[in-house]
Amino acid sequence: MSNIHQLIENVGHTGASLFQKDFFLTWQKTLPEIELVLNVAEALRAFHQNNISTRCFESGLAVSQFRDNSTRTRFSFAFAANLLGLSVQDLDEQKSQIAHGETVRETANMISFLTEIIGIRDDMYLGAGHTYMKEVAEALDDGYSQGVLPQRPGIVNLQCDIDHPTQSMADLLHLINVFGSLDAVRGKKIAMTWAYSPSYGKPLSVPQGIIGLMTRLGMEVSLAHPEGYGLIPEVMQVAKSNAAHSGGSFQVVNSMEEAFTGADIVYPKSWAPFQVMEQRTTLLQNNDREGLKELEKVCLTNNARFMNWECDQKKMDLTRHGNALYMHCLPADISGVSCQHGEVSGEVFEQYRIQTYKEAGFKPYIIAAMMFTNRFADAAGVLQRLTERGQPRINR
């Protein structure tokens, strides 16, 4: 319990508030706001581990809208909602009036009468996902101001075309637990590198989320990818600016080995080139199936030129003391396990498999913290009242 009380004090000491603020992009939040989410997540995790209930809602919905496939984020959202006492309702576009032409403005209001939080994953269309979330936000603002909604639900970005904040924040919380503190992360080198995959069209949001967040913390961020596999230029500029302000560094190299050399953390992850995602978006919007097949064929052929971009033991030996922390958002393309040739060798992945599971385990608490801080102005005060209530999560 002393640990919980200290965590609650840490929440109060941030002096930050995210009350009624949507969580879209990490670089739109102040560092105290980032720390607030991290501290609340750690507090909620400690409550759960100590069998203390954190159900602070007697009723209410958490609406999830997944416009792409998901395992970890979908179940993390459901866990987070349940942890706080909210019921989850999936918005299935094929089973709603959206399929019959219902507007975003109308849908946003119709699902929100008893809703506290809306979680949206929209990462398939470059230039559209983040824009869609802002459109939903504007519709909610209008509905609330016009007296249609009794309250304005908060929105959590569960992954868009630009950023994956719940992933990068969970990754950061994992780093804090591995290295001991947020201060201990400063100065560490992280290699965010492209890696070969036998598939194409993977979103840019994970690598963009990593370079957009870790450059704010004084880390040495090395982004590596083959020629032609660049990220959204505006996000690259955000990373450069962040590094300049934080005292860290940001470099772009075209060698996986160079990025791995001396790294404390490695994050080998496949993504599609920025230009390819632009083409893919146009083809998807036009429902051009033949065009998509042709683009996939061209991209897979190009990917095959870089099959040596695999995280194997030889490259891991280049890292600091040959013992860097391997990270991945999962599922990884594992050579000899899930595919013939992939992002990471079976030997390396097996060595770090449990660590990647632990990494994923922070996401439910990050999402819960984003929900919690959106709905409560005095986050520390509510957490304190939960300790005083002392309701067991499970009556043993």
Residue 45 included in any domain: yes
- Examine the domain organization and report whether 320 and 259 are in the same domain: yes
- Examine the domain organization and report whether 110 and 9 are in the same domain: yes
Cβ–Cβ under 8 Å, residues 265 and 327: yes
Side chain identity, residue 159: Q
Number of structural domains, the chain?
A: 2
Spell out a b/e string for 282-304, using b for 16 or more CB atoms within 10 Å of the CB, else e.
ebbeeeeeeebeebbeebeeebe
User: Hey, what are 240's tokens?
Assistant: 């450069």
- Examine the domain organization and report whether 191 and 153 are in the same domain: no
Count of residues for the chain?
Answer: 396
Residue 109 included in any domain: yes
pTM of the model: 0.96
Question: CB under 8 Å to 69, separation ≥6 — which residues?
Answer: none
- Examine the domain organization and report whether 201 and 275 are in the same domain: yes
Torsion sign (Cα): 165, 198, 322, 351: positive
- Examine the domain organization and report whether 277 and 179 are in the same domain: yes
pLDDT at 380: 98
Question: pLDDT 10s digit of each residue in the chain, 396 long?
Answer: 679 999 999 999 999 999 999 999 999 999 999 999 999 999 999 999 999 999 999 999 999 999 888 999 999 999 999 999 999 999 987 767 776 678 999 999 999 999 999 999 999 888 899 999 999 999 999 999 999 999 999 999 999 999 999 999 999 999 999 999 999 999 999 999 999 999 988 999 999 999 999 999 999 999 999 999 999 999 999 999 999 999 999 999 999 999 999 999 999 999 998 888 889 889 988 999 999 999 999 999 999 999 999 999 999 999 999 999 999 999 999 999 999 999 999 999 999 999 999 999 999 999 999 999 999 999 999 999 999 999 999 998
Residue 395 included in any domain: no
Residue 394 included in any domain: no
Residue 9 included in any domain: yes
Cβ–Cβ under 8 Å, residues 294 and 160: no
- Examine the domain organization and report whether 233 and 370 are in the same domain: no
Q: How many angstroms separate the CA atoms of 358 and 367, rounded? A: 16
160 phi/psi in degrees, rounded to 5: -125, -170
- Examine the domain organization and report whether 105 and 237 are in the same domain: no
Residue 231 included in any domain: yes
- Examine the domain organization and report whether 241 and 158 are in the same domain: no
CATH at residue 336: 3.40.50.1370
- Examine the domain organization and report whether 260 and 145 are in the same domain: no
- Examine the domain organization and report whether 155 and 243 are in the same domain: no
Q: How many angstroms separate the CA atoms of 383 and 394, rounded? A: 18
- Examine the domain organization and report whether 237 and 182 are in the same domain: yes
Write the secondary structure of the chain as one string of H (helix), E (strand) and C (coil): CHHHHHHHHHHHHCCCCCCCCCECCHHHCCHHHHHHHHHHHHHHHHHHHCCECCCCCCCCEEEEEECCCCCHHHHHHHHHHHHHCCEEEECCHHHCHHHHCCCHHHHHHHCCCCEEEEEEEECCCCCCHHHHHHHHHHHHHHHHHCCCCCCCCEEEEEEECCCCHHHHHHHHHHHHHHHCCHHHHCCCEEEEECCCCCCCCCCCHHHHHHHHHHHHHCCEEEEECCCCCCCCHHHHHHHHHHHHHHCCEEEEECCHHHHHCCCCEEEECCCCCHHHHHHHHHHHHCCCHHHHHHHHHHHHHHHHHHCCCCECHHHHCCCHHHCCEECCCCCCCEECCCECCCCEEHHHHHHHHHHHHHHHCCHHHHHHHHHHHHHCCCHHHHHHHHHHHCCECCCC
- Domain range enclosing 193: 167-360
Residue 350 included in any domain: yes
- Examine the domain organization and report whether 193 and 340 are in the same domain: yes
